[in-house]
Amino acid sequence: MITAGRIVRLAERDRAEVYFFLDGQICSALAGDTVLTAMLASGHALRKSEFGPEPRAGFCLMGACQDCWVWQDEGPRIRACSAFVTQGMRLHTTQPESWT
Protein backbone atom coordinates (compact mmCIF):
# COMPACT_ATOMS: atom_id res chain seq x y z
CA MET A 1 0.00 0.00 0.00
CA ILE A 2 1.32 3.48 -0.85
CA THR A 3 0.01 6.59 0.88
CA ALA A 4 1.09 10.11 -0.05
CA GLY A 5 4.07 8.80 -2.01
CA ARG A 6 5.23 6.58 0.83
CA ILE A 7 5.13 2.82 1.25
CA VAL A 8 3.17 1.77 4.33
CA ARG A 9 4.00 -1.49 6.10
CA LEU A 10 1.04 -3.80 6.52
CA ALA A 11 2.87 -6.55 8.39
CA GLU A 12 6.17 -7.36 10.11
CA ARG A 13 6.32 -4.32 12.32
CA ASP A 14 7.85 -6.09 15.32
CA ARG A 15 11.49 -6.01 14.16
CA ALA A 16 13.97 -3.63 15.82
CA GLU A 17 14.15 -0.11 14.41
CA VAL A 18 17.47 1.09 12.99
CA TYR A 19 18.48 4.57 11.87
CA PHE A 20 20.50 5.49 8.82
CA PHE A 21 21.36 8.66 6.92
CA LEU A 22 20.30 9.24 3.34
CA ASP A 23 21.69 12.31 1.59
CA GLY A 24 22.31 13.83 5.02
CA GLN A 25 18.81 13.20 6.41
CA ILE A 26 18.17 10.73 9.20
CA CYS A 27 15.75 7.96 8.29
CA SER A 28 14.47 4.87 10.03
CA ALA A 29 14.02 1.29 8.87
CA LEU A 30 13.48 -2.12 10.37
CA ALA A 31 16.38 -4.49 11.02
CA GLY A 32 16.59 -6.89 8.09
CA ASP A 33 15.30 -4.41 5.49
CA THR A 34 17.26 -4.05 2.30
CA VAL A 35 18.60 -0.57 1.62
CA LEU A 36 16.06 -0.23 -1.20
CA THR A 37 13.14 -1.13 1.09
CA ALA A 38 14.43 1.26 3.74
CA MET A 39 14.76 4.10 1.22
CA LEU A 40 11.33 3.59 -0.34
CA ALA A 41 9.63 3.15 3.07
CA SER A 42 11.24 6.44 4.16
CA GLY A 43 9.59 8.24 1.27
CA HIS A 44 12.69 8.60 -0.90
CA ALA A 45 13.22 7.59 -4.49
CA LEU A 46 16.23 5.44 -5.21
CA ARG A 47 17.72 8.08 -7.49
CA LYS A 48 16.93 10.24 -10.49
CA SER A 49 16.94 8.71 -13.94
CA GLU A 50 19.96 9.55 -16.05
CA PHE A 51 17.59 9.85 -19.02
CA GLY A 52 15.15 12.36 -17.54
CA PRO A 53 13.84 13.97 -14.33
CA GLU A 54 11.82 10.96 -13.20
CA PRO A 55 12.65 9.29 -9.88
CA ARG A 56 13.74 5.64 -9.96
CA ALA A 57 12.61 2.89 -7.59
CA GLY A 58 14.73 -0.06 -8.64
CA PHE A 59 14.25 -2.35 -11.61
CA CYS A 60 15.00 -6.06 -11.30
CA LEU A 61 15.08 -6.16 -7.45
CA MET A 62 17.50 -9.10 -7.46
CA GLY A 63 20.93 -7.53 -8.03
CA ALA A 64 21.27 -8.31 -11.72
CA CYS A 65 20.51 -5.07 -13.55
CA GLN A 66 22.81 -2.74 -11.55
CA ASP A 67 20.17 0.01 -11.61
CA CYS A 68 20.13 0.47 -7.84
CA TRP A 69 23.67 1.57 -6.97
CA VAL A 70 23.94 3.90 -3.97
CA TRP A 71 27.13 5.28 -2.45
CA GLN A 72 28.38 4.99 1.11
CA ASP A 73 30.28 7.77 2.91
CA GLU A 74 33.08 5.29 3.45
CA GLY A 75 33.53 2.24 1.33
CA PRO A 76 32.38 1.09 -2.05
CA ARG A 77 29.05 1.68 -3.69
CA ILE A 78 26.44 -0.98 -2.99
CA ARG A 79 23.36 -2.41 -4.68
CA ALA A 80 20.38 -1.14 -2.70
CA CYS A 81 18.21 -4.12 -3.62
CA SER A 82 20.53 -6.73 -2.13
CA ALA A 83 22.42 -4.92 0.68
CA PHE A 84 20.90 -4.77 4.14
CA VAL A 85 20.56 -1.47 5.98
CA THR A 86 22.60 -1.20 9.17
CA GLN A 87 22.51 1.13 12.16
CA GLY A 88 24.22 4.45 11.36
CA MET A 89 24.78 3.65 7.68
CA ARG A 90 25.45 6.82 5.65
CA LEU A 91 24.22 6.67 2.06
CA HIS A 92 24.01 8.97 -0.93
CA THR A 93 21.86 8.76 -4.04
CA THR A 94 24.46 10.61 -6.10
CA GLN A 95 28.08 9.92 -6.97
CA PRO A 96 30.80 11.22 -4.58
CA GLU A 97 31.87 13.97 -7.00
CA SER A 98 28.56 15.77 -6.38
CA TRP A 99 28.69 15.75 -2.55
CA THR A 100 30.62 19.01 -2.19
What are the pLDDT digits (tens) for 82-95? Answer: 999 999 999 998 88
Q: Give the up-direction half-sphere exposure of residue 70: CA atoms within 13 A in the CB hemisphere.
A: 30
In the chain the domains, ranked by start, together with CATH numbers, are: 30-100 (3.10.20.740)
Contacts of 45 (CB under 8 A, 6+ apart): 39, 55, 56, 57, 93
CA dihedral 95, 83, 67, 36 (to 10 degrees): -90
Tens digit of each residue's pLDDT (9 = 90 or more) over 13-68: 788 999 999 999 999 999 999 999 899 888 877 766 666 677 777 777 777 787 78
Running DSSP on this structure, what letter comes out for residue 55?
E
Radius of gyration of the chain (CA): 13
More confident residue, 100 or 67: 67
Q: How far apart are CA 67 and CA 86, in angstroms?
A: 21
pLDDT of residue 2: 40
